[in-house]
Amino acid sequence: MTDQELGEIISERRQLINVAYRLLGSLADAEDVVQETYARWYAMSPQAQEAIENPGGWLTRVASRICLDLLRSARVRRERYVGEWIPEPLPDRAEWLDGGGDTAPADPADRVTLDESVNMAFLVVLESMTPAERVAFILHDVFRYSFAEVAEVVGRTPAACRQLASSARRRIRAQEAPAATPAARRADVVRDFKEAWETKDVDALVRLLDPDATAVGDGGGLVSAAPHPVSGGERIARYFVDLAERGPAVTILQRTVNAQPGLVVRQDGVTVTVVAFEVVGDRIRHVWAVRNPEKLRPWTTG
pLDDT at 101: 42
pTM of the complete model beyond 0.95: no
Answer yes or no: do 53 and 159 share one domain.
yes
Q: List the CATH number of the domain containing 33.
A: 1.20.140.160
3-class SS letters over the chain = CCHHHHHHHHCCHHHHHHHHHHHHCCHHHHHHHHHHHHHHHHHCCHHHHHCCCCHHHHHHHHHHHHHHHHHHHHHHHHHCCCCCCCCCCCECHHHHHHCCCCCCCCCHHHCCCCCHHHCHHHHHHHCCCCHHHHHHHHHHHHCCCCHHHHHHHHCCCHHHHHHHHHHHHHHHHHHCCCCCCCHHHHHHHHHHHHHHHHCCCHHHHHHHEEEEEEEEEECCCCCCCCCCCEECHHHHHHHHHHHHHHCCCCEEEEEEECCEEEEEEEECCEEEEEEEEEEECCEEEEEEEECCHHHCCCCCCC
Structural domain contains residue 137: yes
**Boundary-marking domain end, from 152, 175, 198:** 175
**Boundary-marking domain end, from 113, 146, 175:** 175
Structural domain contains residue 98: no
Domain count, the chain: 2
Q: pLDDT for 62-106, tens place per residue?
A: 999 999 999 999 876 777 888 999 999 999 876 654 544 444 445
State which residues of the chain have pLDDT below 70: 1-6, 76, 94-111, 177-179, 300-302
Question: To the nearest whole percent, how much of the chain has pLDDT over 90?
Answer: 74
**Boundary-marking domain end, from 115, 150, 175:** 175
Structural domain contains residue 96: no
pLDDT at 58: 95
Q: List the CATH number of the domain containing 231.
A: 3.10.450.50
Answer yes or no: do 167 and 199 share one domain.
no
pLDDT at 109: 44
pLDDT at 211: 97
Which residues constitute the domain of residue 75? 3-85+130-175
